[in-house]
């Protein structure tokens, strides 16, 4: 007879990391493949600990069924509720509850019945529509691949039988949708639009619309892997040829002309935060939905969800593994559907624009009404006309650097020189703005992001008015400075890095702020207990240590006058 040490440890099949085997826990998602005579399976073994929620969500994101394990000795735990909530959030409709370790409770039917009843109530509360329960003892295989004689009171199928017979058909939207992945144009005789159908079906002769625009056409040919075909259904990768030339690009959605997708640029959504750094409202990220990628920002966090209890909590940011219900704004409209209707056009990821790491996954809920009710109004007098009337090229000079580096001093000197030459200018100083439109903001990371967003929007309006705008603000984060730049047209924005070492700035300390920060009376002070992200490639780099502010201002003025195309002022 084999000894206890000869018992096969099945956990080693999926726990491949050394850390997992040492600690006896699952950390990363492990995928394993097997098949029976009835069905092929891909198993994603997901971690249960709260700190690995993002790993669990990764495994669940493409699943059609979840097997939730519960220890018969412990019953439902907070992680049981957390896992079920994530499954429901990600659209998994079928859950199998496996009440494990029945051998350690003497195969007691009452224990199993109580746990199963509690879980069914939980699943109903969280919106999981199909739940099946069974008792198992995994090491000995009881009720895993075949019915166990040790639990004669259980009359249902084994786990494997349930897996083989459960309806795991992927949820498909009813109306035809196909995000365009590639415009196939090998020569002048052929133009096709390739993608995977994510909803409904399309046939030759059907009328379609290209979204987010309104162009209509008819499907002339459908090309699949085997050649030309009459129709294509959800899940098929095909190339569509239209009866006339229309403007179609990657990221557009080809949809049923009679029942098109909705188009909007503002939404409510659930966001599961995956980044190590927190999600800060109004910071700009890249959003990928279907095959389209656009700039996006979380405009507000309505609340965050305690994934262990599903209670709603007030929040100003989201940390790693936290779920929030948010409003989302995009820089351009997209064709979309609610995640509950179409996972492809309703599910998205957020990408950090600096590191290009995926920092969140999200599920669109519905469009905000204001996104369809607010439109751009045409005006005849535009920025170019306003600038020409002033004899100048509208421009934004963005001064960034530590407190005490000399930003405001140099910006003030530059404005004086430009004003003397007859240019129309305005100086937006970070401290002055905080007495007005930013009076309600503090110095937390969230408030700093919003502070710079508002200043950038005001500067953008002033440039649109034809002015040369000088912004003097610490603006410590690269992401926000980049977002500010993107508001302006090419050549309208100059990032001016006023660079001085921290010790020099502390020696100057014109406002006594460093002394207060060192004493602890000021919190979140840039350079002391809050970071400053130095510009990597500023348009102008001014080294203010050891040089007079007047010299630096003169250097910058010479650069500006060259850009303006004159050395003496407006014509």
Catalytically active residues are 475
Alpha-carbon distance of 411 to 570, in angstroms, equals 20
Q: Give the chain's radius of gyration (CA, Å).
A: 30
Alpha-carbon distance of 341 to 69, in angstroms, equals 28
Both tokens of 283, joined, read: 């910071």
Nearest in space to 67 (alpha carbons), one of 38, 37, 32, 36: 32
| DSSP state letter for 131 | E
Both tokens of 145, joined, read: 């691949």
Alpha-carbon distance of 307 to 314, in angstroms, equals 14
Angle at which helix 109-126 crosses helix 78-89, to 10 degrees, equals 40
Q: Is 412 exposed, middle or buried (0-12, 13-18, 19+ CB in 10 A)?
A: middle
| Region of residue 113 (left: phi > 0; alpha: psi -120 to 50; beta: else) | alpha
Alpha-carbon distance of 390 to 535, in angstroms, equals 32
- DSSP-based three-state secondary structure for 155: coil
Alpha-carbon distance of 560 to 556, in angstroms, equals 6
Both tokens of 277, joined, read: 């750094």
Q: Which residue has the tokens 């249960």?
A: 48
Q: List alpha helices for 374-444, DSSP H.
A: 383-390, 407-420, 430-433
Cα distances (Å, whole numbers) of residue 107 to 13, 70, 72, 137: 26, 14, 9, 9
Residues whose CB falls within 8 Å of the CB of residue 471, separated by 6 or more in sequence, listed in order: 396, 397, 398, 399, 411, 428, 430, 455, 456, 459
């Amino acid at each position: 007879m084999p000894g206890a040490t000869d018992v096969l440890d099945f956990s080693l099949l999926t726990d491949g990391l050394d850390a997992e085997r040492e600690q006896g826990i699952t950390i990363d998602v492990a995928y394993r493949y097997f098949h029976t005579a009835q069905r092929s399976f891909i198993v994603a073994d997901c971690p249960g600990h709260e700190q690995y929620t993002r790993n669990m969500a990764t495994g669940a994101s493409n699943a059609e069924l979840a097997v939730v394990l519960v220890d018969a000795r412990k019953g439902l735990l907070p992680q049981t509720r957390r896992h079920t909530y994530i499954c429901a959030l990600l659209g998994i409709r079928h859950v199998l509850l496996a009440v494990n370790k029945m051998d350690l409770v003497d195969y007691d039917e009452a224990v199993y019945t109580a746990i199963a009843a509690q879980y069914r109530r939980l699943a109903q509360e969280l919106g999981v529509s199909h739940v099946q329960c069974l008792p198992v003892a995994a090491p000995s295989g009881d009720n895993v691949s075949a019915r166990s004689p040790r639990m004669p009171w259980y009359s249902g199928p084994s786990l494997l039988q349930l897996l083989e017979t459960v309806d795991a058909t992927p949820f498909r939207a009813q109306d035809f949708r196909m995000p365009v992945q590639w415009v196939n144009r090998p020569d002048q005789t052929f133009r096709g639009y390739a993608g995977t159908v994510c909803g409904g079906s399309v046939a030759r002769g059907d009328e379609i619309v290209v979204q987010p625009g309104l162009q209509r056409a008819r499907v002339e040919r459908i090309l699949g892997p085997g050649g030309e075909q009459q129709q294509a259904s959800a899940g098929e990768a095909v190339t569509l040829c239209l009866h006339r030339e229309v403007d179609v690009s990657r990221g557009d959605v080809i949809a049923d002309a009679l029942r098109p997708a909705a188009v909007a640029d503002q939404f409510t959504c659930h966001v599961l935060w995956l980044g190590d750094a927190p999600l800060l409202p109004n910071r700009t990220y890249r959003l990928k939905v279907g095959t389209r990628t656009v700039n996006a920002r979380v405009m507000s966090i309505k609340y965050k969800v305690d994934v262990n209890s599903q209670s709603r909590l007030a929040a100003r940011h989201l940390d790693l593994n936290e779920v929030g219900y948010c409003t989302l704004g995009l820089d351009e409209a997209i064709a979309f559907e609610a995640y509950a209707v179409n996972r492809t056009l309703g599910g998205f990821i957020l990408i950090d624009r600096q590191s290009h790491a995926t920092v969140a996954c999200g599920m669109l809920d519905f469009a905000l009404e204001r996104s369809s009710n607010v439109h751009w109004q045409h005006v005849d007098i535009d920025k170019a006309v306003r600038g020409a009337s002033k004899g100048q090229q509208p421009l934004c000079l963005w001064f960034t650097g530590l407190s005490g580096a000399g930003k405001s001093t140099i910006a003030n000197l530059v404005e004086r020189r430009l004003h003397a030459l007859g240019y129309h200018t305005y100086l937006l100083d970070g401290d002055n703005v905080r007495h007005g439109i930013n009076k309600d903001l503090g110095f937390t990371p969230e408030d700093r992001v919003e502070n710079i967003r508002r200043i950038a929007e005001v500067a953008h309006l002033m440039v649109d008015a034809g002015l040369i705008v000088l912004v003097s603000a610490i603006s410590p984060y690269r992401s926000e400075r980049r977002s500010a730049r993107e508001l302006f047209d090419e050549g309208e924005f100059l990032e001016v890095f006023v660079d001085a070492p921290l010790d020099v700035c502390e020696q100057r300390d014109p406002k006594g702020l460093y002394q207060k920060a060192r004493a602890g009376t000021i919190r979140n002070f840039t350079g002391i207990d809050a970071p400053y992200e130095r510009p990597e490639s500023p348009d102008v780099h001014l080294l203010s240590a050891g040089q007079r502010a007047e010299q630096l201002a003169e250097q910058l003025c010479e650069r500006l006058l060259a850009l303006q195309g004159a050395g003496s002022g407006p014509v």
